[in-house]
Amino acid sequence: MEEIYAKFVSQKISKTRWRPVPSGSLQPAETFATGSWDNEENRVLLWSTGDLGNLDSDGGFEGDHQLLCGIRHHGDVMDLQFFDQERIVAASSTGCVTVFLHHPNNQTLSVSQQWTTAHFHTGPGSPSCSTAPCTGVVCNSPEIVTVGEDGRINLFRVDHKEAVRTIDNADSSTLHAVTFLRTPEILTVNSIGQLKIWDFRQQGNEPSQILSLTGDRVPLHCVDRHPNQQHVVATGGQDGMLSIWDVRQGTMPVSLLKAHEAEMWEVHFHPSNPDHLFTCSEDGSLWHWDASTDVPEKSSLFHQGGRNSTFLSHSISNQANVHQSLISSWLSTDPGRDRIEITSLLPNRTLSVNSLDVLGPCLVCGTDSEAIYVTRQLFS
């Protein structure tokens, strides 16, 4: 079990993100950002991992995360993404999107840019300026894409005052999350269980492709794209299930994996080791999913403090006709390979684990129990 260090920060943490490591750097990630929610005053904070490993009075490990700097944030932080080494983009429950700039010389954060009414409700029954939460943001320099409860998609460019492109009625339901598939293409998930692919090269307001879970319209809360195979996508939703999709094939998920007991808030492929995937949930759990082929005779068991419980995997489509060596381990439906090892990373169940991020050997997560957990030895 990896050693994971807790630090209590006296605010509910809604989002945690590692600052990207400069390309070519061999140093592990050491700086991360957090955003808070449901506090009298919400803040975006920047932390350094510092020295991990001080034993606290309960015999557990206490993280010595150093607070570098912070800045007040109007509204709940709904999403948080690093744009580059210096800039962080925050999505607000007020509908505002803010770019914060880090000044390392004097360790301060300042507002670099702001789109105050990126998301808002219109139409019958809506006040003239009824704000709508911005629920998701994704960055691919120089572009920033935002989605919101208003069903709107915005394409911003840093240093442009106005949106470069807006799809006003992209969705009649709430858009919960967004990711880039390729540079001109994004993928959104919504509150009625649909994935939609949008191509910014097309002028219309219609998605180029729609995928969905048949039957139940279970809200999807999170999405992540496989870092090396752009057609492979993972989603999680209100029922806690993990769904793996191949956007090249059909309109249904390739695999449905029974996972958490409550809402899955985030799912992340490991950026450089994508046979490993991480999820967190309202049920207070943080899981590491290992689908790598180098684990002999996977037990398909769930490990938590020495206890094992069985794990259900349900494959929907058969892809035996595709050359096996080209298939992501997440798409493989070979019965002998249909085994995934799951490890629970938190020593005890906590209140909701709202957010996680992984980079190299490092993982950070934030919770409603006002704690941040960090490990820098994911695979040791």
**What DSSP character marks residue 248?**
T
- Above 60 in pLDDT, residue 297? no
Per-residue pLDDT tens digits for 251-278:
889 989 999 999 999 999 999 999 999 9
Q: Is the peptide bond before 271 cis (omega within 30 degrees of 0)?
A: no
- Above 50 in pLDDT, residue 245? yes
Report strand pairing: 313-315 vs 307-310.
Answer: unpaired
Cα–Cα distances in Å, from 363 out to 1, 74, 274?
Answer: 14, 27, 14
The sheet that has 209-212: what strands, in order across it? 175-182, 185-190, 194-199, 209-212
Question: pLDDT band at residue 19, thresholds of 50, 70 and 90?
Answer: very high
Per-residue pLDDT tens digits for 90-134:
999 999 999 999 999 999 999 999 999 999 998 766 666 689 999
Joined tokens for residue 193: 């269980």
What is the model's pLDDT at position 174?
A: 96
Q: Regarding predicted confidence, which is higher, 328 or 231?
A: 231
Q: Regarding predicted confidence, which is higher, 139 or 299?
A: 139
Residues contacting 40, CB < 8 A, separation 6+: none
What is the model's pLDDT at position 179?
A: 98
- Above 90 in pLDDT, residue 46? yes
Per-residue pLDDT tens digits for 163-195:
999 999 899 999 999 999 988 999 999 999 999
- CA angle, 304 as apex, 303 and 310 as ends, to 5°? 45
Question: pLDDT band at residue 369, thresholds of 50, 70 and 90?
Answer: very high
Q: Is 201 exposed, middle or buried (0-12, 13-18, 19+ CB in 10 A)?
A: exposed
What is the model's pLDDT at position 250?
A: 79
What is the model's pLDDT at position 194?
A: 95
What is the model's pLDDT at position 65?
A: 85
Query: If you average pLDDT over every residue of the chain, what do you get?
Result: 86
Question: pLDDT band at residue 317, thresholds of 50, 70 and 90?
Answer: very low
**3-state secondary structure labels for all residues of 46-113:** EEECCCEEEECCCCCEEECCEEEEEEEECCCEEEEEECCCCEEEEEECCCCEEEEEEECCCCEEEEEE
Handedness of CA 301, 303, 306, 312 (dihedral sign): negative
Determine the 3-state secondary structure of 337 from DSSP.
helix
What is the model's pLDDT at position 301?
A: 40
What is the model's pLDDT at position 198?
A: 97
Question: pLDDT band at residue 213, thresholds of 50, 70 and 90?
Answer: confident
What is the model's pLDDT at position 208?
A: 95
- Above 70 in pLDDT, residue 211? yes
Q: How many residues does the chain have?
A: 380
- Fold of domain 5-294+309-314+327-375: Methylamine Dehydrogenase; Chain H (2.130.10)
Question: pLDDT band at residue 64, thresholds of 50, 70 and 90?
Answer: confident
Half-sphere exposure of 368 (CA within 13 A, CB side): 14
Averaged pLDDT, 55-65: 55
What is the model's pLDDT at position 329?
A: 83
